[in-house]
Amino acid sequence: MQKPSDLNEKQWQAVKSQARHLLIIAGPGTGKTHTLTRRIARIAHEQKGTAYVLAITFTNKAAQEMRERLTKYISESVEDVEVATFHKFCLGILRRYSSLKDYRIATSVQVKEVSKSLWPHLPERERKQKLEDIGRTKSCALKETHSEVTSYNEELRKQKLIDFDDILLETVFLLEADKTLLEKMQETYSDIFVDEYQDINEAQHKLLLLLAAKQTGVTAIGDPQQSIYGFRGSNVKFFEGFAADFPGSEKIELSENYRSASHLLKASGQISKKGRILGVPALEAKFSGHGDLIVHCVPSEKAESEYVVHQIEKLVGGTSMFSQDSKRVAVDDHGDFTFGDIAVLYRTNAQQKVLQEAFERSGIPHQASGDKLFYEEKEVADFLEDIRKDTRKPVTLIVSDLKARHQETGRDCFLKMVELVQKAKSRQEFFDNLFLERENDTLDQNVEKVSLMTLHCAKGLEFPVVFIIGCEEGLIPFKGKGDCIDVEEERRLFYVGMTRAKQRLYLLNTQKRMAFGRVYVPKPSRFLSDIEETLKRYEEGADLPRKKKEDTQLNLFGKI
């Protein structure tokens, strides 16, 4: 085998390794997906037509990207590779072999309705907490659970529903109970590849151990310093225990970073170094230039949003007649970036409202992820329910209806559903694929809009310019009302946010903020002090002119 020119030595070592089990530690920007896909392609090509391989990801976007790359590398062997998220893979097993094959996936709206019927006396916050507790319990793959999980499941089953966590849990139970089916699954795949291994939970861990109990090889790739889903039951201990789970495994570390400028990489490294995860190699910057790390404090959350808008206008060279009129941006300043180059990250969805209001006033085109998926909005949900009930309607007519609705509303979500319908082999598969969409899948990186999203949603993405707002105690690290702080996971989450930036990173905090109905004076995040002062550039004033009411009407873009 000859090393391809697009792989460095460590990546090539991982691709060509003959180890049955392989753990690849790959920090941000080290070519994780590229390396994993190349390894899958090599193994699938070498055993073409003799065995299947399974590649498991955590998001639909990651799965789609992997399929596209594999088609490019091994078009003749790509049919021997099954690429799916954990949930898509498990749902396929349930649809073929379980008594739940005809059950629908419950949307979050339906789950909330179930919780209301079970605990009508509780306020919404406490019902939400119960649902989170139930989710964590299911992620542990426990057969013996407390009564609230039992009553919750019974209510779901009455309505022929399974929730998102059931998809994994019920698959594990099925394989444990049906030895014949388990052996069939074990004999199907010669190799299993798992992306983002640091984020697996107990149920996913059990599933992998079941599938790989005989001769199946396991390649896992990820970064323990990006383990950020503990609140969902994920545990970095599975990453750390890989060698014990899969004896004789090899470990390879990727440390050459091709994403972030050196100062940004050094600053994020100082954040991670203060954490408890040891044995992860320091990253080496391969990106040209030092980059720019700006730390700025503003009077309030409204001023924070206006500062973000102001900076974006300068970065892209002005977005409105007002920005030029007010001397915020020079008329001949075309900027160095586009809207699609920029992301604004925050810890909670509650921070989004003020931010979006500022963007709408300025006319900056933007897209936002949220805690509510497009198919759960009433207009879309009602439309989908009509389709579900009319079982005689052919797929061609469903496509026509979706296209017509797109023409009426101008909403891209209806075109997205057209794609899902056309890819599906059945009506059920269309609804399955739709309801397996998560908030991570809703943003489109190919459009010229600024992306607004939580730090969790930013995982796996990258942008030339990143703003992280709310770098304050209580937000970063996060402390909910009456909750304690998981400082280590919050540190890792901040690290994830910082490492999304390629060239420029803004870290913002406020002098006062509104939370739980009151104004308070937050302290700057403790994480800011972990960054070496020589890497930071401070801005003393926001330099924002006061907007006149009539000036907002001069916006060239209008309300997006």
What pLDDT sits at residue 483? 67
pLDDT in tens, 345-397: 999 999 999 999 999 999 999 998 866 688 888 888 888 888 888 888 888 88
Contact 251, 243 (CB under 8 A): yes
Beta strands at 342-346 and 366-368: parallel, antiparallel or unpaired = unpaired
DSSP string, 215-226: S-EEEEEE-GGG
pLDDT, position 198: 96
Tokens 């509303």 map to which residue?
Answer: 409
The C-alpha atoms of residue 468 and residue 304 are separated, in whole angstroms, by 11
pLDDT tops 80 at residue 143: no
Q: What is the mean pLDDT of residues 31-47?
A: 95
Arithmetic mean of pLDDT, 196-219? 95
pLDDT confidence of 415, banded at 50, 70, 90? Answer: confident
Q: Is the pLDDT of residue 332 over 60?
A: no
Cβ neighbors of 52 (< 8 A, separation 6 or more) are 80, 81, 82, 188, 189, 190
pLDDT confidence of residue 327: 46
- Looking at the predicted structure, is the pLDDT value of residue 324 above 80? no
Look at residue 364 in the predicted model and tell me its pLDDT.
95
491 pLDDT band, cuts 50/70/90, is very high
Contacts of residue 340, Cβ cutoff 8 Å, sequence gap at least 6: 445, 446, 447, 448, 449, 450, 451
Band of pLDDT at residue 541, cut at 50, 70 and 90: low
Whether pLDDT at 131 is above 80: yes
Q: What is the mean pLDDT of residues 419-437?
A: 89
* pLDDT value of position 542: 43
SS3 283: coil
CA distance linking residue 404 with residue 387, whole number of Å: 14
Amino acid 331: pLDDT: 40
pLDDT at 325 over 80: no
Query: Can you give the pLDDT at residue 309?
Result: 97
Reply yes or no on whether the pLDDT at 81 is more than 50. yes
pLDDT over threshold 50, residue 545: no
Residue with tokens 């998220």: 85
Q: Which two tokens stand for residue 104?
A: 């629908």
pLDDT at position 319: 58
Find tokens 């991570």 and name the residue. Answer: 440
**Distance, CA of 335 to CA of 319 (rounded, Å):** 10
pLDDT at 316: 94
Q: Summarize the confidence of residues 323-344 as an average pLDDT.
A: 67
- The angle subtended at Cα 54 by Cα 52 and Cα 56, nearest 5°, is 170
For 234-281, how does the pLDDT look when each residue is reduced to its tens digit (9 = 90+)? 999 999 999 999 999 999 999 999 999 999 999 999 999 988 877 788
Confidence band (pLDDT; 50, 70, 90) for 449?
A: very high
Pick the residue with more confidence: 503 or 50? Answer: 503
Segment 462-484 mean pLDDT: 90
Residue 532's identity, in one-letter code, is: E
Long-range contacts from 373-377, C-beta under 8 angstroms, 24+ separation: 373/107, 373/108, 373/437, 373/438, 373/439, 373/442, 374/411, 374/413, 374/416, 374/442, 375/107, 375/413, 375/417, 375/434, 375/435, 375/437, 376/107, 376/108, 376/109
> In the predicted model, is pLDDT for residue 119 greater than 70?
yes
Question: What pLDDT does residue 482 have?
Answer: 65
CA distance 153 to 246: 34
Mean pLDDT of all residues in 406-425: 87
Q: State mean pLDDT over 136-147.
A: 85
Q: How high is the pLDDT of residue 552?
A: 34
pLDDT for residue 548 is more than 50: no
